[in-house]
Amino acid sequence: MKRSCGVLLPISSLPSQYGIGCFSTEAYRFVDFLAAAGQSWWQILPLGPTGYGDSPYQSFSTFAGNPYFIDLEQVIGDGYLSRDEVDQYDFGSNPSYIDYDRIYQVRYLLLHHAYENSPFTLHPREKWKDPEYNKDRYAFETYIADSKEWLDDYALYCALKGRYENAAWVDWDDDIRLRRPEALKEWHGKLLNDIRFYCFIQYMFFRQWKALKDYANKHNVKIIGDLPIYVALDSSDAWSHPELFKLDDEGRPSVVAGCPPDAFSATGQLWGNPIYDWKKHQAEGFSWWKSRMKHSFFFYDAVRIDHFRGFESYYEIPAGETTAMNGTWVVGPGIELFEALSDTIGDRQVIAEDLGFLTPEVHKLLADTGYPGMKVLQFAFDALSDSDYQPHNYTHNCVVYTGTHDNDTSRGWLDNTSAKVSEYAMKYFGTKNKEDTVEAMIRAAMMSVADICIIPMQDYLCLGSEARINTPSTLGNNWKWRISKRATTKKLEERLLELARIYART
């Protein structure tokens, strides 16, 4: 890997006039900021559509894109919406935080209006029947055909959720829940226009995302994306491929994913995701994983694989448990999976999220793949002694962060950790106050031998816990923070560029 640096900022955290960050002018301006600041990487979170809890790690599809990220300005420019239509809606009053309830109510309504006033609906209005729009229709139909492998099931799944008042697929009627052929055929006929609407949403998403990614790449900024290890139970993936998961004869999970009790949680973490039937994946040559990885590299230039240790061994909990205390460890697919994916990955960059308690077997799997692991400075001082997360112990083949989306901001961490830990950190960095310590953490990460250094945008701004992205195992206040339009100043740009140059990361 080339020595380089970048910034972590979710798409949702960008400023925009429509309540949530999206592929808008502000996204292009952020790319301009990164390029001028000597940054080679923009790390984002998963781009999939979110449901209950608004978590990008509990998506309705591992292949689809989030409709919230579609830039309404571009839809207006396409002629599918009028400005008056958009301006009549309230997208939230606080530019620093996302009001997901309001966004949910408004975004789909506007996108449906756009679909009905487009050349792509089954019954287009007169002006859209003009032959000049044949090229647009052809591009749309080509996208549907090229995405058939996942889009057919996803669009039907979304249309069915609408008819079942957003109930999870495990609560649908037996015939369609279990995907009986006659039910699939019947519902497809009934929901043809709804299915096409969800194809339209994905077409708009992918067209806009490709344009933004191409712009970033043209300006020498590459995208690091995130591949969650698991899919959500309520997802088109689990519904359309039940044979790939440990589900019972009724299509319901027999075991679910989570983490065992540890120092951070006395009862562990009960994620609830379905567990893969790895024997079935193995028998199919890991074809679903190959498709997923190929698709991820359409989205991103580099992929961070979430919860990497779960491929060596994973923790499964009997379905119906209310905590993660009664789970067991089960051996995962190990190196066989990554050998099968090697041709798909090629020479493209993969990062392994190897955080948490790691066994010798996990260390061996990481070494066998050759992927760089992660170093997080906030984890370096809990033991009040020498740690693998302290910069003097790094090797080149790693990616260093001050913190991740699951951590507090570094200033928030210093404010909320124990006095002993914060004092030890300040002693390590040779600082006298918390603000200087945040700056010292950034510099320590930048000057380390780690090939890649990624700093959350909040740390460059020295923001406190009000800017935290996610607190694991909690609901209600996550994934909401947004950066101010005025934050990416010329002064900040020059500061990032200076750091990148001093530490040879340009």
Active-site positions read 306, 353, 406
Helix (H) or strand (E) holding 456: strand 452-456
Place of tokens 């139909």: 141
The count of other CB atoms within 10 Å of the CB of residue 236 is 28
* Dist CA 140 CA 204 (whole Å): 9
Q: Tokens standing for 505?
A: 């990361």
Place of tokens 């934050």: 487
Strands 328-331 and 222-227: what pairing?
unpaired
Cβ atoms of 504 and 396 closer than 8 Å: no
∠ at Cα 460 (454, 461), nearest 5°?
145
Cβ atoms of 397 and 372 closer than 8 Å: yes
Helix (H) or strand (E) holding 373: strand 373-376
Instruction: Classify residue 245 by its DSSP letter.
Output: B
* Dist CA 232 CA 157 (whole Å): 14
* Dist CA 393 CA 389 (whole Å): 7
Residue 133 phi, psi (nearest 5): -95, 5
Q: Tokens standing for 473?
A: 């195992």
Strands 302-305 and 398-401: what pairing?
unpaired
What are the residues facing 374 on neighbouring strands? 399
Q: Tokens standing for 265?
A: 């949680």
Contacts of 356 by beta carbon, 8 Å cutoff, 6+ apart: 259, 309
Residue 481 phi, psi (nearest 5): -65, 145
Helix (H, G, I), strand (E, B), or coil: what is residue 7? Answer: strand
Least Cα distance to 213 among 377, 45, 464, 23 occurs for 23
Helices 148-163 and 287-299 sit at what angle, rounded to 10 degrees?
A: 90
Contacts of 460 by beta carbon, 8 Å cutoff, 6+ apart: 7, 442, 492, 495, 496
Query: Helices in 56-171 by DSSP H: which ranges?
Result: 72-78, 83-87, 100-116, 134-146, 148-163
Helices 287-299 and 335-345 sit at what angle, rounded to 10 degrees?
A: 50
DSSP conformation letters of 123-150:
S--GGGGSGGGHHHHHHHHHHHHHTHHH
